[in-house]
Structure 1
Amino acid sequence: MSQESTPALPQRALEALTAQIAGTVCTPGDADYAREVSAFNLRSRTRSALVVAATTSDDVQAAIRFATAHGLGVGVLSTGHHPYPPNTSDGSLLITTRAMRAVHIDPATATARVEAGALWGDVVGPAQRYGLAPLNGSSAGVGVVGYTLGGGLSPVLGRAYGWAADHVRAIAVVTADGALRHVTEQSDPALFWVLRGGGSNFGVVTALEFSLFPVNTFYGGGIFHPAERAESVLHAYRQVAAQAPDELTVSVALLNFPPLPQIPELLRGRFVVHVRVAYLGADTEAEELIAPLRAVGTPLADTIGRRGYDTFAEVHQDPTEPAPYEDRSVLLTELTPGGVAAVLDRVGPASASAVTVLEIRHLAGALGREPRLPSATGARDAAFMVWGAVVGPPDVVDAGIDRMNSLLKDLTPWSTSRLYQNFTSREAVAADVFDPPVLARLRRIKQQYDLGNVFRAHNRNIPPALSPHARASTAPAQVTSRPSSDSVLVTTTQQPDSGSAGTSITR
């Protein structure tokens, strides 16, 4: 630990914390600090006053108790794919979970138990030894816990089985009082509901247990079409999506590749249309369903075929190296010819757009149905998600994001008016994600478990719904609002009295 302690954190207190932690404690003056706060999104910067690189749940408990004792907000970081909301990390305590990557597969119950830092690549391989698969995302390098707490949209299994959060069975979480809780539907229904879809607003999850599914192969891959076929492909995509059974997931991406040497020569410096396919039925059935996408013409490349589930990442071919990027998204009730025209006009091959990738992903199916165990996950009323990202230096990102903002405005007539939490922009707030009744319930549960709003860093903060008594017993809140939203971000400037509701919870 560096001798350059943050002035607000006494050296003796930091030394006492370090003595309790099996992992690493570091401050901005430490050599380890930059490594610990690094994120996959290189535009994400933290200004945390203190970092605890946790290796056990005991480390997480000690860190949270220290934060509450010293009035620090708490954030958590695994891989950092999702952009940090601005100005939420200042003076906070950041808990990193990268060292906590244990995974246990139980084939008898078809479940996985993973620690907080596990990546999807850590889970898929071991699960496949038993012919089982999780509801993972498109990349092997994404963290399991953050993905699942935000809902968890699988581009292979989601339309058939639903959101990953809907299939969580148990959660180990450290709440604001420093208690490690084993949360299930039976033990604590409110906390179980809110953690599955509410993000990192209610505690630091140290382990998850969730269901696996009997899938070891699927029929899928990608078709790359040249730029001049973009309009034909998008209209064929509308046709395929309209008749798709739940077992079929098809997305399409407009890719604007820069002329970089690490990009395959076939695609380097080109605008291409990438169709992504995953089908859980027979090969012949899949070919009949996607026939309109093949009828548009001979592709540049075609990787579709029967493949092992452990090759899932080859479908989307997401980047594996950190990069600086910003993104925007919108959920749509339908994909109309007008929507397609707007996409082509703003980011199509003739638009001179700086947008690097614009994906249209089909949702619906099981993603649109209420699960057996309700959760806080939203986006069930959406049929499609449009998501765009801009990679590059600041001037390129700014130009691309301006273009994405224009596109989202054009798509407003078909928007659900909400966003999917795991694909929100850096500036998005909780009210952009949750419907008002759901957000009100989230705030009531936040009041019960985190009245002091300890978990306010690195997230789209959900402030507690303060009761009249709580408001009288706390200092005035510091409020930040955004002109385009009816929500507020609240950071209490004083911890509530020890007798206030939610500060000491026992079972």
Structure 2
Amino acid sequence: MTTDFDPAGLAATDLDPVDPASVDLAGLRRAVRGAVHAPGDPGYPTVGFNVTVVRRPAAVVDATSADDVAATVAFATARGLTVGIFTTGHGGTGVDGGSILVRTAAMDTCVVDPATRTARIGAGVRWQTVLDAAVPHGLAPLCGSAPGVGVVGFLSGGGIGPLVRTVGSSADYVRSITVVTGDGVVRTATAQDNPELFWGLRGGKSTLGLITEVVIELPQITEIYGGAVFFDGAEAAAVLRAWRDWAADLPTEASTSVALVNLPPLPEVPPMLAGRLTVSVRYASVADPATAAAAFAPMRAAAPALLDAVGPMPYAAIGAIHADPAEPMPVVESSGLLAALPDEALDHLVATVNSPVGPLLPGVELRQLGGAYAQDPPVRSALCHRDAAFNLHLVGMVPDEQAVPAVAGAIAAALAGVAPWSTGATLPNFVASDDPARIRRCYDDDTAAWLAALADQFDPKGVLRVGPVMRS
């Protein structure tokens, strides 16, 4: 998607200027095997999924191993710098000249072991790569709605995917983590070894360390009954009410979300959905096709469908359920957890997307939680707020810098309108911010206190205090 947004204009006022002479990059180059890029070098620019995010670090390191990451952390610590990490830039935040940015693309290990039903995955790997490697063995990587997202970033934030009510948090399937902690030490964390680190790395994002590799369990799922059905936006209020009432009795073998969608008239958008407001009801069930179809029948009857793409599908196609955009775009986003969805809340969201700024809100999404997600996992993690009923996620498109205030204002107004039913909390993977107050809302009091105490232990110099991490 092309826009007129130019992040270079933002950088001059919002980020500290970078002085290339302030950091001894020759020393950094001697310390790591991967390439080191200074400002102005061809390999320096780092643009992620959200192109409004500006990254102007003191240097960029293309790490090849955990040792490279550890050397970078040690180098930064000695110079009073922080270290951030980058894979795809989903949910990313800005980086200025006080930080070194570690890019992980070269750490691309992806080894599936069918005998143990596990996969060993490097920090630079995206979910699509794991899907391609695991699905031929009848195994199902528990990815999120977008297979183009990085595995490690998704899991470090807890991870909720299209089957969340059936399988719970994807982070609950992590078996081992290799991490460079803020003190520059390479450690392995499991439920038995460094258990407190294992707890905090699953849900705590990069608060305690930079993850370089994970081993995850792969359930046996080869086919699901799923997809999305689209209704005309004029039916939005009725469809949302029907979805809420229907989802209340949904069995745990099924998961669902609904989105108010404004899709632009682009070649890749089906003509019946382009340039108009639609309502997308997503569904994913591991039940047999007949049972799953019967369970979904009430939603098919909610209104005349513009497009019905719900049916048996191979697990490999799970990304088609949400059909999230794959190309970078300039967005503003925010989220919140809800305890309930009365008619007043639904009407407010419909009014938001029907307002003059509505066309700049390509997605207002509600994901139903509960089911297996709400149950205590076998091994506890720092992922909190499992008792919430719904996750509300709003995405606004900013075609140019002048649109930012209007879009951000519309998103803020949407959240304010549902505040009476908010839990006051958010999930780490839905907080694209480095605002300490917003990050704090990802955790209950006990979890926040434990993360802060562990950060003092594993990151005593605060070298990881950049980006969406919990701060003491």
Aligning the two structures, in what range does the TM-score lie when normalised by the shorter sequence?
over 0.9
Aligned residue in 1 for 2:203: 197
Q: Alpha-carbon deviations, 1:214-256, whole Å to 9, x = none? A: 1010001111111111111101101221011111111111111
8 Å CA contact retained: 1:227, 1:349: no
Q: Which amino acid aligns with 1:42?
A: V
Matched, 1:94 2:101: yes
* Matches of 2:66 and 2:296, distance apart in 1: 47
Give the one of 115, 123, 128 matched to 1:116: 123
TM-score, structure 1 length as denominator? 0.86
Larger Rg: 1
* Matches of 2:358 and 2:322, distance apart in 1: 24
Give the one of 340, 359, 366 matched to 1:360: 366
For 1:239-318, what aligned pairs fall within 5 Å after superposition? Answer: 239-318=245-324
Matched, 1:340 2:346: yes
8 Å CA contact retained: 1:354, 1:399: no
8 Å CA contact retained: 1:47, 1:91: no
User: Judging changes above 3 Å, is the alpha-carbon distance between structure 1 residues 351 and 82 closer, same or farther for their aligned structure 2 residues?
Assistant: closer
8 Å CA contact retained: 2:434, 2:466: no
Aligned residue in 2 for 1:466: none
* Matches of 1:200 and 1:66, distance apart in 2: 18
8 Å CA contact retained: 2:183, 2:460: no
Tell me the matched-pair count: 452
8 Å CA contact retained: 2:204, 2:470: no
Q: Alpha-carbon deviations, 1:371-418, whole Å to 9, x = none? A: 110000013021101111012323334322211211111111111111
Q: Which amino acid aligns with 1:387?
A: H
Matched, 1:68 2:77: yes
Aligned residue in 1 for 2:152: 145
Aligned residue in 1 for 2:53: 44
Deviation at 1:147? 0.4
* Matches of 1:67 and 1:215, distance apart in 2: 44
Matched, 1:9 2:9: no
* Matches of 2:170 and 2:243, distance apart in 1: 25
Aligned residue in 2 for 1:229: 235
Higher normalized contact order (CA 8 Å, seq sep 6+, divided by chain length): 2
Deviation at 1:134? 1.7
Partner SS, residue 313 of structure 1: helix
Matched, 1:23 2:42: no
* Matches of 1:199 and 1:112, distance apart in 2: 20
8 Å CA contact retained: 2:261, 2:362: yes
Give the one of 419, 424, 441 matched to 1:432: 441
Unaligned runs of 5+ in 1: 464-507
Identity of aligned residues (%): 38
* Matches of 1:462 and 1:187, distance apart in 2: 25
* Matches of 1:233 and 1:291, distance apart in 2: 13
Matched, 1:83 2:97: no
8 Å CA contact retained: 2:167, 2:373: yes
* Matches of 1:167 and 1:256, distance apart in 2: 34
Deviation at 1:345? 2.0
Matched, 1:453 2:462: yes
8 Å CA contact retained: 2:228, 2:308: yes
8 Å CA contact retained: 2:231, 2:306: yes
8 Å CA contact retained: 1:120, 1:136: yes
8 Å CA contact retained: 2:360, 2:398: no
* Matches of 1:8 and 1:461, distance apart in 2: 28
Deviation at 1:152? 0.6
* Matches of 2:53 and 2:187, distance apart in 1: 31
User: Judging changes above 3 Å, is the alpha-carbon distance between structure 1 residues 351 and 44 closer, same or farther for their aligned structure 2 residues?
Assistant: closer
Q: Alpha-carbon deviations, 1:172-225, whole Å to 9, x = none? A: 001123221111121111111111110011111110011111101000111111
Matched, 1:462 2:468: no
* Matches of 1:188 and 1:351, distance apart in 2: 49
Matched, 1:127 2:138: no
* Matches of 1:295 and 1:282, distance apart in 2: 21
Q: Alpha-carbon deviations, 1:21-43, whole Å to 9, x = none? A: 22210111211101xx2211101
Deviation at 1:352? 4.5
